[in-house]
Structure formats: C-alpha cells, structure tokens
C-alpha cells in the first residue's frame, strides 16, 4: 500500500516544478548561457515548456577525477564523460561539496582558454561551480578544480548532466577525493593539455591513471618537490647545498618540456615568509632581473612578475606584462608557500629580451618576511644566486655563487676599524709616557706600535675596497657605501699627511697635531658607523642582533678611554704635587741644580700608574680580539642562523 505524500514531499515536488532555471529552452537544445545561480542549491533544471523531473535510473555519464587524494590548494582534473565512451550530452552543471555536513560547496574551478566553461558564484563564493557556455553536443568536458587552502577532509563532485530535453540526471557523484596537507599529498601531476584540446573542450576519452590512494595517509619523510632533482629537472635553493639534504629554506624547481617552461617555487617551514621568488639574472647580482613572485594575499597565493632594480633595491611589477606567466597550482599550508608557474618562452621587458630557449641565466632565489605596496619587501629570510648561468633545459646539479670576496671585504674592514684602529689610537693617546727609554726600530715604543697598527689599517682598508669593487663591478649608492667611501678617503689621506709632519719645535706643529687627531678619530667613528649600516645589506646576510655586539664594543671602547683619561689626570696631578713639594725660591743654587737633574731623570722614567695602564691595555687587547673574532665569524659564516641550524 502506497504511503500518502507528506507535506515535505509535496513541497519538494512543488519546488522541483517551479525552479526558475533551465538548462534547455526547448527539446534537444540547452540554454546557451548555461545554468544560472538561482539553482546553486538544487541543481535542478527548469524547462521553458514546463517542469520535467530528473531520471531516477543509473546515469550513463560519469564524473572522473585525476586523483583520489589532493593537497590543500592544489589542482586536479575533473572529467565529465559518457559510459560507454562516445555518448554525447548537451548541458551540465558541477560542484564539489564537503562529504560531511553541512555539505557546503568548496574549492574553485578554473576557466577554459576557449571560453567553453561558464563559472558560477554560489553561496557568495567565487567560481565554486561550473556550467556550460556552449549548448552544442559534447562527448567529454575537462575541467580544472583547485582545493581550498584551509580545508581538510573528503569532497565529492556532484553534476547535473542532460542528454536531451526529457533526459537528465541530477547529483551524478564522483568517487570521494581526500584533501590532505599539501606535503602529505601523493597526487600525481596534472597531465599536460595539448593546445589543440584545451580544458573544457571535446576531446578523446580520458583514461584516469591507475592510482589508488592509501587507506591511511601518513607523513612522508621528504617533500615531493625534491623528487627528480638533477635527473629530470633543475633544482636550486638556499642555503647552498640544501637540495642534496632536502632542507631548503627556499627552493625553485625548473622543468622544461619543449617550449613549456614550468617553475615551482616554495618557501621553507617555519620561515614565516611573506613571499618567495625566483629571478632570472645575467650576472648573479640584483638588478634588471626577470622575477617570478608568489605572494599569499587574502587566503590565496597570487602570482606577479617584476623587474628588479639595484639602485634603489626594488622589484617593479608595472614594467612587466603580467600575462607573461600563468599560475598553474598554488597553496599555503602551515606557512609554507608553494606555487607552480608556466612562463612564456620569450618575454620582452623595457627593451630587454629574456629568451628561455636560447639564453643562459643565473637562478636567483629569494624570500622575505614583509611586503611593500605593489611590491615584495626586503629578502631578509635569504637570497642566493646560482654560481653559473645555465640554459634551463640542461638538467644539472647547481651550486650557489661564491661570497668569498664579500666575506673578505667584511673581515678586512672589521679587523681594520674595530681592531687595529682602536688599538692604534689608544697607543697614541695614552702611552707616550710609558715604556720611556725603550725603542723599536729607532722609534719610541708608542710610536712604533701606533705606526704599525695604522699602516695595517690602511693596507686592510685599501685591500677591502678593491675587493668589493671587483665583486660589484659598479657603483652602488646607499648609506653604507657613501659613508664607507668617506672613511676610505680619510684613511688614505692620514699617512700621506704624516709624511709632511712639521718638526717638534715648528710653529705649525700644533695645527698638524689637531688635524691629524681630528682626521684619525673622524675616520674611526665613520668606519664603525659604516659597519653598523652593513648589517642591513642584502649581500651581507648578517643577523640583526649583530647590532648589539657592535653597541657592546662601542660601550667597552668608550669605557676604556674614560678609565685611561682618569688615569692620565691622576698621573699629571701626582707629578704636579711632586713639583710643588719644593719651592725653588727657598733653595740654594746647589739644591736647585740637583732638583733640575732629578726632574730630568724623572722625565726619562714612566709616568705614574704605568703598571695600571699596561694592565688595562692587556685586558683591552684581549677583549678587543674577542670582539673582532666574533664579528669576523658572523661575516664569514653568514647567514649564521643557517650555519647554527646545520650544526
């Protein structure tokens, strides 16, 4: 006995009969514009000639996916096809929904290049459903769907497929697709669509890959981005050598298939990167490089192309045609940025041609923790150019360019302006009345040491300046380079001026002394300031906390000067008290002569508190050596965070 229809059933029937959207306006013909968004919830078509209920038989059409597991933010292929192959249909509508309640529509479909897919905005979300834009018969439709970056679980694709006016099936399901964290995904890469059959067009029946997802998805030991490195694709990242250990802070992977140039770019875990980018450079130096940027914005990863500038450091997007590269796949999972990009084989930018087929380029990988308006920020997380320019189609093992000249430049300047200059000034200012009567190479000890230390400063500074010119091969103007140039000029002038030093009794000698003192101390101060400005330089890759080491040095240096000055005043007072002990007017001629001889002998002896000065000099020398050693290690081992991470 048939049960009477409930109120809920009557309402469902009424809704089915009155839904205001049709896929076909007349028998055998689909609505050219496809399904409107008023049927997002029911996916039921409404024909202009009246209400037609869907078929309740098994659908002769199927919904196939290219994989049964997919990482967050990744893309898979979805096929609508007939069973058996060759069965045609006219209209369709498709969505992906959460398999579990509340069964919301999720993900996004991609457009077809030939415009044969109409994207729909259901539930106030963009492009989360798709329908036909061409009412003609078709045997297969191929779509691309991107999973959300913030969803984990199972999704099922549901489609409405119409074979004719009276025959259509609603809710044709696919097999469930498991959305997992991107680094846990074992999904095979998307098949490359040939130009003759772009997504959304009719083509030969598609046979899904024989891939079976594991019952229990577990974490893999290494990121799949490293698979095939050096064998089928070029891989390069920083720190140098990280590809071999599969531990890159940032990495780019280049795959070439004919005229198809694909770049995969990925940031490392725990870096808090705001962007990751790769540049194509002629000279391994920043400036006039074609850059591909992957930038998370508003919950999704966006692609930008830019041209870098060295002075000032910037990446300008307005100079580059943004259609010269296309985003194929992207995700951001646990802070890890990933994108897969296809670049044009030839890109023209401001009169320059980047020819990926025939040209050779350094790969320059960079990532940073900040963004600017319409640009990426400073690459404070790191950057590294490849050692040699390569043709991207030639697969090989890549290494980073040498930083030896930069490291030597930094080490020499630290040794000169933190080390030898600081010690040389101490000798000249406080030790003229110490080691009195002792000479080295015919000169007083203080002068011999002062001259040796300052000649060392001059030699190290000139060598360091030559090295950085050899490295850069051009002038780059910023605070570090400008103040550094002034320091070098003062350093160069000081010994030349010393050659024209007036005699001790010359009336011009005081002017020389003041000028020599001013030039030396000004150069010392500017040298230390220049080192402070080096901490922020991209090429230096120095830690920000190096500033505190430099501040500590300045405090110690000033404190030592203060102690020496107080000691010097105490010494002078002691000598003055000695002289005032005897009143020359009350002495006989013999006593005055003896007193003068005694004072003459005293001038040939060390001033009072010489032992204190020597002891303080020894302590300061040890502390100064430690400062110089630590700072040079930071320069030579930069970036020090990566070195400490390895150890």
Segment 94-113, tens digit of pLDDT: 999 998 888 889 999 988 76
Residue 626 confidence (pLDDT) above 90: yes
Q: What is the pLDDT of residue 321?
A: 92
Last residue of a domain, one of 374, 401, 428: 401
Residue 604, pLDDT score: 64
CB 365, CB 384: distance < 8 Å: yes
Given a cut of 90, whether residue 54 has pLDDT beyond it is: no
Choose the final residue of a domain: 355, 378, 401. 401
Rounded mean pLDDT of 194-223?
38
Per-residue DSSP letter, 224: G
Query: Does 4 map to a domain?
Result: no
Q: Is the pLDDT score of 597 beyond 90?
A: no
Q: What is the pLDDT of residue 259?
A: 87
Query: Which pLDDT score, from 0 to 100, does residue 366 have?
Result: 92
pLDDT, average across residues 195-212: 34
Return the pLDDT at 589: 58
Residue 620's pLDDT is: 96
The verdict on 434 and 539 lying in the same domain is yes
Domain annotation covers residue 397? yes
| Residue 203 confidence (pLDDT) above 80 | no
Which of 532, 537, 535, 550 lies closest to 628 in space, CA to CA? Answer: 550
Indicate if 372 and 395 belong to the same structural domain.
yes
- Average pLDDT, integer, range 225-242: 91
Share of the chain above pLDDT 90, in %: 42
**319/438 same-domain check:** no
Integer CA distances (angstroms), 317 to 70, 224, 426, 639, in order: 32, 31, 53, 28
- Element containing residue 331 per DSSP (H, E): strand 325-333
Distance CA 171, CA 254 (A): 40
The confidence score (pLDDT) of residue 412 equals: 97
**C-alpha to C-alpha distance for 43 and 26, rounded to whole angstroms:** 18
φ, ψ for residue 312, nearest 5 deg:
-80, 165
The pLDDT of residue 286: 77
pLDDT, residue 183, reads: 59
Residues 535 and 636 reside in one and the same domain: yes
Q: What is the dihedral of CA 465, 467, 472, 474, to 10 degrees?
A: 50
Q: Is residue 19 part of a domain?
A: no
CATH number at residue 362: 2.60.40
Specify whether 367 is located in the same domain as 438: no
Residue 386: name the closest of 263, 234, 233 by CA: 234
pLDDT-wise least confident of 149-163, 265-279, 308-322: 308-322
One domain, residues 450 and 389: no
Q: pLDDT band at residue 5, thresholds of 50, 70 and 90?
A: very low
d(CA 291, CA 345): 14
Can you list the pairs that 541-545 forms with residues at least 24 positions away whose Cβ atoms lie under 8 Å?
541/382, 541/383, 541/638, 541/639, 542/634, 542/635, 542/638, 542/639, 542/640, 543/634, 543/639, 543/640, 543/641
User: Is residue 530 domain-shared with residue 563, that is, in the same domain?
Assistant: yes
CA angle 406, 409, 410 (to 5 degrees): 90
In a domain, 162, yes or no: yes
Q: Indicate whether 559 and 487 sit together in one domain.
A: yes
Q: Per the structure, how many domains does the chain have?
A: 3
The reply to whether 116 and 147 lie within a common domain is yes
Q: Which residue has the tokens 């398999």?
A: 99
Query: What pLDDT is attached to residue 391?
Result: 94
Secondary structure string (H, E, C) spanning 340-393: EEEECCEEEECCEEEECCCCCEEEEEEEECCEECCEECCCCCEEEEECCCECCC
**Quick one: CA dihedral 327, 386, 462, 524, positive or negative?**
positive
What does the alpha-carbon distance between residue 29 and residue 166 come to, in Å, rounded to a whole number? Answer: 11
At 553-593, the pLDDT tens digits run 999 999 999 999 998 888 888 777 765 655 544 555 555 55
Q: Which residue in this structure is represented by tokens 């109120």?
A: 7
On average, the pLDDT of the chain sits at: 81
Cα(342)–Cα(113) distance, integer angstroms: 15
Enclosing domain of residue 448? 404-574+605-642
In this predicted structure, the answer to whether residue 84 has a pLDDT above a threshold of 50 is yes
393 and 431 within one domain: no
Q: Facing residues of 315 across strands?
A: 308
pLDDT tens, 119-149?
Answer: 999 888 889 999 988 768 888 888 999 999 8
pLDDT of residue 635: 94
Reference 382, options 252, 480, 562; nearest CA is: 252
Residue 72 lies in a domain: yes
Q: How far apart are CA 52 and CA 46, in angstroms?
A: 7
Residue 38 is classified by DSSP as G
Helix (H) or strand (E) holding 608: none
Same-domain status, 360 and 496:
no
pLDDT for 550 equals 96
Can you tell me the mean pLDDT for 57-67?
A: 88
CB 127 within 8 A of CB 75: no
Q: Find the mean pLDDT for residues 432-455.
A: 90
Q: Tell me the pLDDT tens digit for each residue of 460-512.
A: 999 999 999 988 777 878 899 999 999 999 998 988 888 888 888 888 888 88
Query: pLDDT-derived band of residue 214, with 50, 70 and 90 as boundaries?
Result: very low
What is the distance of C-alpha 208 from the center of its chain? 38
Does residue 195 belong to any structural domain of this protein?
Answer: no
Q: What is the pLDDT of residue 581?
A: 59
- pLDDT score for 11: 38
Q: ∠ at Cα 389 (388, 395), nearest 5°?
A: 90
Q: Is 563 exposed, middle or buried (0-12, 13-18, 19+ CB in 10 A)?
A: middle
The verdict on residue 283 lying in a domain is yes
Percent of the chain with pLDDT over 70: 81
Higher pLDDT, 563 or 513: 563
User: Which of 366, 401, 436 finishes a domain?
Assistant: 401
Predicted confidence band at 414 (pLDDT cuts at 50, 70, 90)? very high
CATH number at residue 118: 2.60.40.4060
Alpha carbons 393 and 186: distance in angstroms, whole number: 26
pLDDT per position as a tens digit, 162-174 = 887 778 888 889 9
Ramachandran region, residue 471 (left: φ > 0; alpha: ψ -120 to 50; beta: rest): alpha
DSSP-derived pairing of the beta strands 177-180 and 69-71: parallel
CA distance 496 to 484: 19
- The CATH number given to whatever domain includes residue 499 is 1.20.120
Across 80-84, 271-275, 471-475, the highest mean pLDDT is recorded for 271-275
Taking the alpha carbons at both ends of the chain, their separation in whole angstroms is 80
| CB-CB contact of 316 with 330 (8 Å) | no
Do both 424 and 449 map to the same domain?
Answer: yes
Residue 8 lies in a domain: no
């Amino acid at each position: 006995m048939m049960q009477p229809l409930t109120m809920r059933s009557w309402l469902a029937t009424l809704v089915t009969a009155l839904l205001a959207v049709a896929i076909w306006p007349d028998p055998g013909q689909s609505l050219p514009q496809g399904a409107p968004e008023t049927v997002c919830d029911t996916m039921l078509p409404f024909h202009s000639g009246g209400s037609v209920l869907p078929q309740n038989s098994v659908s002769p059409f199927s919904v196939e996916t290219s994989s049964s597991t997919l990482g967050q933010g990744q893309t898979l292929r979805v096929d609508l096809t007939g069973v058996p192959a060759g069965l045609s249909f006219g209209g369709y509508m498709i969505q992906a929904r959460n398999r579990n309640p509340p069964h919301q529509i999720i993900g996004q479909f991609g457009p077809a290049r030939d415009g044969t897919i109409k994207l729909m905005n259901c539930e106030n979300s963009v492009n989360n459903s798709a329908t036909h834009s061409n009412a003609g018969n078709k045997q297969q439709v191929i779509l691309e769907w991107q999973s959300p970056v913030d969803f984990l679980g199972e999704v099922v694709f549901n489609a409405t497929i119409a074979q004719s006016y009276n025959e259509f099936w609603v809710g044709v399901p696919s097999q469930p697709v498991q959305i997992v964290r991107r680094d846990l995904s074992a999904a095979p890469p998307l098949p490359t669509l040939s130009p003759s059959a772009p997504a959304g067009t009719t083509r030969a029946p598609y046979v899904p890959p024989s891939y079976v997802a594991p019952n229990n998805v577990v974490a893999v030991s290494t990121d799949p981005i490293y698979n095939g490195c050096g064998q089928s694709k070029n891989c390069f990242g920083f720190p140098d050598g990280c590809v071999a250990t599969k531990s890159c802070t940032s990495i780019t992977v280049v795959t070439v298939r004919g005229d198809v140039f694909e770049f995969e770019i990925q940031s490392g875990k725990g870096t808090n990167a705001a962007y990751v980018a790769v540049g194509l450079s002629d000279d391994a130096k920043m400036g006039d490089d074609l850059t591909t940027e992957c930038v998370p914005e508003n919950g999704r990863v966006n692609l930008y192309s830019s041209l870098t500038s060295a002075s000032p450091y910037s990446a300008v997007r307005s100079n580059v045609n943004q259609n010269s590269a296309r985003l194929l796949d992207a995700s951001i999972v646990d802070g890890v940025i990933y994108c897969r990009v296809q670049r044009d084989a030839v890109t023209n930018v401001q009169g320059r041609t980047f020819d990926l087929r025939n040209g050779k380029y350094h790969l320059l990988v960079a990532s940073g923790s900040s963004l600017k308006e319409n640009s990426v920020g400073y690459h404070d997380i790191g950057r590294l150019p490849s050692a040699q320019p390569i043709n991207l189609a030639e697969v090989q093992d890549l290494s980073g360019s040498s930083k030896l000249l930069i490291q030597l430049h930094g080490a020499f300047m630290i040794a000169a302006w933190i080390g030898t200059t600081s010690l040389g000034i101490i000798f000249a200012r406080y030790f003229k009345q110490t080691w009195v009567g002792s000479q080295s190479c015919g000169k007083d000890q203080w002068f011999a040491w002062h001259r040796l230390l300052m000649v060392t400063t001059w030699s190290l500074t000139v060598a360091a300046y030559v090295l950085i010119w050899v490295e850069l091969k051009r002038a780059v103007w910023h605070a570090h380079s400008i103040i550094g140039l002034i320091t070098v000029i003062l350093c160069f002038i000081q010994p030349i001026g010393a050659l024209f030093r007036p005699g001790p009794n010359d009336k011009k000698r005081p002017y020389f002394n003041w000028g020599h003192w001013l030039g030396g101390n000004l150069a010392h101060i500017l040298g230390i300031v220049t080192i402070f400005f080096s901490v922020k330089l991209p090429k230096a890759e120095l830690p920000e906390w190096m500033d505190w080491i430099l501040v500590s040095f300045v405090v110690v240096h000033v404190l030592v000067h203060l102690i020496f000055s107080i000691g010097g005043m105490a010494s002078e007072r002691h000598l003055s008290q000695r002289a005032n002990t005897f009143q020359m007017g009350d002495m006989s001629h013999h006593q005055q002569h003896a007193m003068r001889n005694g004072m003459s002998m005293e001038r040939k002896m060390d001033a009072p508190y010489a032992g204190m000065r020597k002891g303080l000099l020894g302590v300061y020398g040890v502390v100064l050596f430690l400062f110089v050693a630590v700072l040079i290690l930071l320069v030579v081992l930069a970036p020090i965070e990566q070195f400490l991470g390895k150890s």
